[in-house]
Amino acid sequence: MKPLQAHPDFCITACRLTRMAAALGIAGALAACAGTGEFSARNAQLNQIRNVVVIYAENHSFDNIYGLFPRANGIAQATPEQKLQLDHDGKPLKKLLTFGADGKPDAGFPVMPNAPFRIDAPPVSRAPTQIVPSPTHLFYNNQEQINGGKNNRFAAMSAVGGWVMGHYDGSQFRLWQWAKDYTLADNFYMGAFGGSYLNHQYLVCACAPRFDSAPDFMRAQLDSDGKLQKRTGSPSANEAAVQLVNAGQVTPDGYSINTTQPPYQPSGIPPAAQGARELANPAGLARNGGNPDLPLPPQTNKTIGDTLSAKGVDWAWYAGGYQRALRDGMQDPATPRKVIYTKGADWPNFQPHHQPFNYFANYAPGTAARAQHLRDGEDFAMAIDAGRLPPVSFYKPAGVHTQHPSYTDMVTGDRHIADLLDKLKASPQWKSMLVIVTYDENGGYWDHATPPTGAGWADRWGPGTRIPALLIGPSVKKGFVDSTSYDTGSILKLLTRRFGLEALSGVREKVGDLTSALE
């Protein structure tokens, strides 16, 4: 007789029949009861959590920061095949070169052997206080880099070449200590292939936006194998950066996958001269001698915000610099911007494509939902101190605090997030709080772990490369490395289970819900 499976839907009935099952010798039913006990215990633990806080940093793979973490699946566990980077022709690269903005070797960086290397040690010797190059992190590039789980084409498919193989000794960062004290998930993958834009969308809706009206110049050019088409004569990665026909903002069939600006302010596209100041110019932003940068049409997919609100659960998306960016975006379009995509001593370098709800019609300017749920980072700090955080909080640091390569350093963001964790731990709400600190995507950096594949684990959109995730709070296991298979959708799955929400259809069936990290 085939044993009965311990599925939650079966467990309640099975446990009521425990005595009968035992008398009949049906071991599977008894096992189902044991499964129910564990399921019920986790539900009890989860129900003790009254506040979930998600802090979303930027652009680092797991190996890039935590590849040396004790007891974790780090760089030492990588196979020789995963470490050795291949050229476009499938042959091993002779060396690792870092390419500059011109696509040629940058003399400011040493030539390195074809292997992972320390960024913050000789001969590279870039301190974590220094700003470093930003590897390519785009949808189709990421798929080719992963190369069926071998992870051996990162250098060949990046504009910065071999720089992608660099990593830090993460023990110098304050977040490392938080990971040691609580739970570090070492099998957590970014929900979607590619970059920040699509992974922010995945965080809130487990979906890819539609852009059916996108012109041809926005659509990726693929070859017969479904890979990005290389330009004729594109050089070897032993010499220079790969040259592509068009990596694209949109798939050939109309899904928006790479950075596209929101239709509402704050946006990288100013308002029209005679148009509503709350909107991005629908005609786009003209670029000298090139095609215009067009905004994404307002989206209508169901989001985690919608399902929380439908259940009467309060929530907020807090964004560092939001109010300043909103004022900046609503200026006369001829006025130079000082906040949006702008670096400076007192400028937060606000990144509009990191604000996913600002793409959705339900949160358009003038709606009650926008006023209630889209808030400034200063509101987040005040709510922490006052013990007035809503049951669900998402916090997006301003660009200067995200740890994103090329426009900020590692230490500034590490201090900022660690300071927030100190504040959260001192909050009156701490005793029933779960904090999730994770990254939107890998930033194009190499990671050796093979992303999950197969039905229920993966789909057209991902998951992509492995990223760090820390689970912190009184109910979290202490000093624990959680190797359960997770992706960005696990956050949505946890919120759905905790608050009894309608499930979002894009969340993958088999991915974990983070409760394995609870005590």
pLDDT digits (tens, 9 = 90+) for 439-451: 999 999 999 999 9
For residues 178 and 424, what is the distance between their CA atoms, to the nearest angstrom?
A: 13
For residues 158 and 137, what is the distance between their CA atoms, to the nearest angstrom?
A: 8
* Residues 347-370, mean pLDDT to the nearest whole number: 97
Query: Across all residues in the chain, what is the average pLDDT?
Result: 93
Confidence of residue 33 (pLDDT cuts 50, 70, 90): very low
Q: How far is CA 321 from CA 333, 379, 409, in A?
A: 20, 11, 18
CATH topology of domain 48-69+167-517: Alkaline Phosphatase, subunit A (3.40.720)
For residues 123 and 507, what is the distance between their CA atoms, to the nearest angstrom?
A: 43
pLDDT at 134 over 90: yes
Q: Which two tokens stand for residue 7?
A: 């599925």
Q: How far is CA 195 from CA 35, 37, 59, in A?
A: 38, 40, 8
Confidence of residue 347 (pLDDT cuts 50, 70, 90): confident
Residue 41 pLDDT: 72
pLDDT, greater one: 104 or 9: 104
pLDDT at 104 over 80: yes
pLDDT, greater one: 363 or 344: 363
pLDDT at 236 over 70: yes
pLDDT at 334 over 90: yes
Q: Which two tokens stand for residue 214?
A: 């996108």
Alpha carbon 275 to its chain's center: 34
Q: Which two tokens stand for residue 195?
A: 């970059």
Residue 16 pLDDT: 39
Residue type at 302 in one-letter notation: K
Domain ranges (residues) in the chain? 8-44, 48-69+167-517
Confidence of residue 22 (pLDDT cuts 50, 70, 90): very low
Confidence of residue 117 (pLDDT cuts 50, 70, 90): very high
Residue 469 pairs in a beta bridge with 185, 438
* Residues 455-459, mean pLDDT to the nearest whole number: 98
Residue 36 pLDDT: 64
The size of the chain, in residues, is 519
Least confident segment among 3-17, 162-176, 255-269: 3-17
pLDDT digits (tens, 9 = 90+) for 260-293: 999 999 999 999 999 999 999 999 999 887 899 9
For residues 265 and 422, what is the distance between their CA atoms, to the nearest angstrom?
A: 32
Residues of the chain above pLDDT 90, percent = 90
pLDDT, greater one: 86 or 31: 86
* Residues 181-202, mean pLDDT to the nearest whole number: 98
Confidence of residue 19 (pLDDT cuts 50, 70, 90): very low
Residue 37 pLDDT: 66
pLDDT at 506 over 70: yes
Alpha carbon 318 to its chain's center: 16
| Element containing residue 177 per DSSP (H, E) | helix 174-181
Q: DSSP labels for 391-406?
A: SEEEEE--GGGS--TT
Q: Give burial (CB, 10 Å; 0-12/13-18/19+) of 394.
A: buried
Question: Mind spelling out the 3-state secondary structure of 429-468?
Answer: CHHHEEEEEEECCCCCCCCCCCCCCCCCCCECCECCCECC
Backbone angles phi and psi of 320, in degrees to 5: -60, 130
Residue type at 480 in one-letter notation: F
**DSSP designation for 360:** B
* Residues 365-390, mean pLDDT to the nearest whole number: 98
Q: How far is CA 254 from CA 73, 140, 224, 251, 356, in A?
A: 37, 14, 18, 5, 19
Q: Say what the pTM is.
A: 0.92
Residue 14 pLDDT: 38
* Residues 202-213, mean pLDDT to the nearest whole number: 98
Pairing of strands 343-344, 347-348: antiparallel
- Pair 336, 328: CB distance under 8 Å: no
